[in-house]
A = this chain, B = another copy of it.
Amino acid sequence: MPAQRADARRNYERILAVAEEEVAAHGADASLEQIARTAGVGSATVRRHFPTRSALLEAVFRERIEVLAARARELAKAEDVRAALLEWLGELTVYSASVQGLATALLRTGELAPEHANPCVNTLTEAGGPLLRRAERAGVMAPGATAVDLVTLIAGIALATQHHPDPATEADRLLGLAVAGISPRG
Q: Which of B142, B156, B180 contacts A156 (CB 8 A)?
A: B156
Pairwise interchain contact A111-B163, C-beta atoms closer than 8 A = yes
Which residues in B have their C-beta under 8 angstroms from that of A185? 82, 139-140
A75-102 vs B: 1/0 string, CB under 8 Å?
0000000100110010000000000000
| CB of A159 within 8 Å of the partner chain | yes
Pairwise interchain contact B182-A178, C-beta atoms closer than 8 A = yes
This protein's copies in its complex: 2
Q: Which of B107, B161, B163, B182 contacts A141 (CB 8 A)?
A: B182
| CB of A160 within 8 Å of the partner chain | yes
Which residues in B have their C-beta under 8 angstroms from that of A150? 182
| CB of A17 within 8 Å of the partner chain | no
Tell me the complex Cα distance, A30–B180, Å: 37
